[in-house]
């Protein structure tokens, strides 16, 4: 690791220096210190970094610096896996270009008016940030011209490949000049990533933030072994016990986000949700409330939170154990930022302990078991906070106006002690519920099941599947990323889509089968379908199930909770430049 650089040590214009200062930056982060000098030199760069390391500024500062102002042609192109990340990157680039007159940045992505985006491009955008599917559509409409592009960035390249965008990425790169500067940022250096870099980069410089720098040492990480129905009670106790002012709660499904938000609001917490079904205006409104503190609990899915950048998050709650080890790193990286301390709490139920072990093996960090605060612990903390507020109000003075209130209540027959206790209760907002302290932990349930397990005729306790050497599906039944995405061909030739371990995907009651009116005759591959569904709908490509491709049509299994989103967002969408119709398949298909 090279020495961290101050921004005033870099060869940057006065306009960019001023913008960086306005953003509150003085010293570059590790990835910025290593990457910015090479990018400014014009070198191709591979940056291995994840969310929270400052990677957007690592490529954004040199791109803005090198843009020729008032030249109404696209000079820089940034590709992102999701519309949420594209919007976040655009906001960051606009901040960097704030004082540099004649530099315009625009965003293009599926799910928004393509006519509005075309109008924005015609106005003279210098830097375009977009998702691969929409970029392809705009190129084919001749609305986006890339012959003057000097810099191309692939942000979260590994995620784009996982979502099936490889063919789109290669098509886009082939539309740009050969002498361009190409910059890859990726959390992992997988074989597919290295294959792309060897083909499209020239002697790239590798810079990276290693894993133990990503899993920040100033984040306290704890897990809580709980009963499934007690998750909400434990989480809210932790929020109150640690006096959390701003928190992020992560769930694995959109439906769960809505459920958690509703329950938090019923308990009196200022909570809002963030998921793929929100329109951009709704998302912007939610984020504005969260950043300003009007909303202090933001509940989100991993995909919706891509690119989320808020520095003052006190704690991250994994309401659901993440489906992927890297998701865990992405999640907790949103607290403990800018030199501040943070907390990361994970709720586990039953066999999720196995997934937690895999997360610890991946991050090389031991996550300690936390002690669930008792009801009296939470009340004690709130009492202390209440006393501090009362003391402050007394010291401020001007209490004469309210003295007759106590006298009126005393005349009504209430003692001073009763009045004060009632006011404390009203202010603290705590009421007892059905959860006794001993009914929260999930360990007792497992012990009971273990001790009461059926015995065989010999009186021996029956073996569990763990004792027999069996293993839970660590993905919790999720459809895994399939090997078959990179293979074209007819459905009957390629066989059923499989996960990483070669297991066939299951078609079950939680999946809705979708009909797509395009197939093998149009040279469509599973990767094209996954890329289009993920790019246009904003859902993670790795939740899709079986994909069957025939000559003139295809079938795609979509989780029920995403079905309406897919139907709405895929209306008028294109796959490989061809408009498609997506609808729920008939029962006999």
Residue pLDDT, tens place only, 166-181:
889 999 999 999 999 9
Q: How far is CA 144 from CA 91, 540, 552, in A?
A: 20, 26, 30
Greater pLDDT, 489 or 105: 105
- State the Cα–Cα distance between residues 282 and 545, nearest whole angstrom: 29
Residues written for the chain: 589
- State the Cα–Cα distance between residues 529 and 546, nearest whole angstrom: 11
Identify the band that residue 454 occupies on the pLDDT scale cut at 50, 70 and 90.
Answer: very low
Domains and CATH numbers, the chain: 7-213 (3.40.50.300), 216-373 (3.40.50.300), 483-584 (3.30.70.330)
For residue 343, pLDDT over 50 is answered with yes
Identify the band that residue 322 occupies on the pLDDT scale cut at 50, 70 and 90.
Answer: confident
Are the beta carbons of 479 and 505 closer than 8 angstroms?
A: yes
Residue pLDDT, tens place only, 144-168:
999 999 999 999 888 888 778 888 9
Residue pLDDT, tens place only, 550-567:
888 999 998 888 888 888
- State the Cα–Cα distance between residues 63 and 40, nearest whole angstrom: 8
For residue 195, pLDDT over 90 is answered with no
For residue 583, pLDDT over 80 is answered with yes
For residue 81, pLDDT over 50 is answered with yes
pLDDT score recorded for residue 494: 38
Least confident of 55-59, 174-178, 472-476, 574-578: 472-476
Three-state SS at 160 = helix
pLDDT score recorded for residue 23: 83
pLDDT score recorded for residue 508: 58
Whether the full predicted model's pTM is greater than 0.85, yes or no, is no
- State the Cα–Cα distance between residues 311 and 216, nearest whole angstrom: 14
Greater pLDDT, 432 or 270: 270
Q: Residues of the chain with pLDDT > 90: what percent? A: 31
pLDDT score recorded for residue 396: 80
- State the Cα–Cα distance between residues 385 and 201, nearest whole angstrom: 57
Cα separation of the two ends of the chain: 57
569 contacts: CB under 8 Å, gap ≥ 6: 110, 111, 536, 537, 538
For residue 430, pLDDT over 70 is answered with no
pLDDT score recorded for residue 135: 95
For residue 506, pLDDT over 80 is answered with no
pLDDT score recorded for residue 98: 92
Least confident of 130-134, 483-487, 574-578: 483-487
- Mean pLDDT for all residues in the chain: 80
For residue 287, pLDDT over 80 is answered with yes
For residue 281, pLDDT over 90 is answered with no
Q: What is the mean pLDDT of residues 440-448?
A: 55
Residue pLDDT, tens place only, 23-63:
877 788 888 888 999 999 999 999 987 666 778 899 999 99
State the chain's maximal CA–CA distance in angstroms: 88
pLDDT score recorded for residue 283: 81
Tell me the two tokens of residue 143. Answer: 């609305």
Identify the band that residue 221 occupies on the pLDDT scale cut at 50, 70 and 90.
Answer: very high
pLDDT score recorded for residue 42: 93
The beta-strand segments (E) located in 127-253 are: 127-130, 151-155, 181-186, 205-208, 219-225, 247-250
Greater pLDDT, 45 or 543: 45
For residue 378, pLDDT over 90 is answered with no
């Amino acid at each position: 690791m090279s020495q961290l650089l101050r921004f005033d040590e870099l060869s940057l214009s006065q306009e960019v220096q001023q913008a960086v200062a306005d953003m509150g930056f003085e010293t570059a982060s590790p990835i910025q210190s290593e990457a910015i000098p090479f990018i400014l030199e014009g070198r191709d760069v591979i940056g291995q970094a994840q969310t929270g390391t400052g990677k957007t500024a690592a490529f954004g500062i040199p791109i803005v610096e090198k843009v020729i102002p008032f030249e109404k042609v696209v000079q820089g192109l940034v590709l992102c896996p999701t519309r949420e990340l594209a919007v976040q990157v655009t906001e960051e680039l606009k901040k960097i270009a704030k004082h540099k007159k004649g530099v315009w940045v625009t965003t293009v992505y599926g799910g928004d008016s393509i006519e509005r985006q075309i109008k924005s491009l015609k106005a003279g955008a210098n830097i375009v940030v977009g998702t691969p599917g929409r970029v392809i559509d705009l190129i084919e409409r001749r609305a986006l011209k890339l012959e003057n592009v000097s810099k191309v960035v692939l942000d979260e390249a590994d995620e784009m490949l996982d979502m099936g965008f490889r063919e789109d990425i290669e098509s886009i790169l082939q539309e740009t000049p050969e002498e361009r500067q190409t910059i890859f940022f990726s959390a992992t250096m997988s074989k597919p990533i290295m294959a792309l870099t060897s083909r499209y980069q020239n002697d790239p410089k590798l810079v990276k933030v290693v894993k133990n720098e990503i899993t920040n040492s100033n984040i306290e990480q704890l897990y809580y072994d709980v009963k499934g129905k007690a998750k909400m009670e434990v989480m809210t106790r932790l929020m109150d016990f640690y006096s959390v002012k701003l928190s992020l709660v992560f769930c694995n499904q959109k439906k769960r986000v809505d459920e958690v938000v509703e329950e938090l609001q019923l308990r009196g917490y200022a909570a809002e949700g963030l998921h793929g079904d929100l329109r951009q205006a709704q998302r912007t409104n939610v984020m504005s409330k969260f950043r300003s503190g009007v909303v202090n609990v933001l509940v989100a899915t991993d995909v919706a939170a891509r690119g989320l950048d808020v520095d003052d998050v006190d704690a991250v709650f994994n309401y659901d154990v993440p489906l992927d080890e890297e998701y865990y790193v992405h999640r907790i990286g949103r607290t403990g930022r800018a030199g501040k301390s943070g907390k990361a709490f994970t709720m586990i139920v039953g066999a999720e302990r196995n997934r937690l072990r895999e997360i610890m093996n991946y991050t090389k960090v031991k996550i300690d078991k936390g002690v669930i605060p008792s009801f009296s612990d939470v009340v004690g903390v709130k009492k202390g906070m209440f006393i501090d507020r009362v003391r402050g109000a007394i010291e401020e003075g001007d209490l004469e106006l309210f003295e007759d209130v106590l006298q009126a209540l005393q005349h009504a027959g209430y003692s001073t002690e009763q009045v004060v206790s009632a006011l404390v209760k009203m202010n603290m907002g705590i009421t007892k519920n059905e959860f006794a302290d001993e009914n929260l932990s999930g360990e007792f349930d497992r012990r009971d099941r273990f001790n009461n397990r059926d015995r065989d005729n010999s009186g021996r306790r029956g073996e569990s599947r763990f004792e027999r050497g069996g293993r839970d599906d660590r993905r919790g039944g999720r459809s895994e990323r399939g090997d078959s995405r990179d293979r074209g061909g007819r459905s009957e030739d390629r066989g059923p889509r499989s996960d990483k371990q070669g297991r066939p995907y299951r078609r079950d009651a939680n999946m809705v089968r979708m009909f797509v009116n395009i197939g093998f005759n149009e040279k469509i591959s599973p990767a094209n379908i996954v890329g289009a569904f993920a790019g246009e709908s904003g859902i993670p490509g790795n939740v899709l199930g079986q994909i069957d491709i025939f000559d003139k049509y295809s079938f795609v299994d979509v989780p029920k909770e995403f079905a309406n989103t897919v139907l709405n967002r895929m209306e008028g969408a294109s796959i490989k430049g061809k408009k498609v119709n997506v609808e729920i398949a008939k029962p006999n298909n």
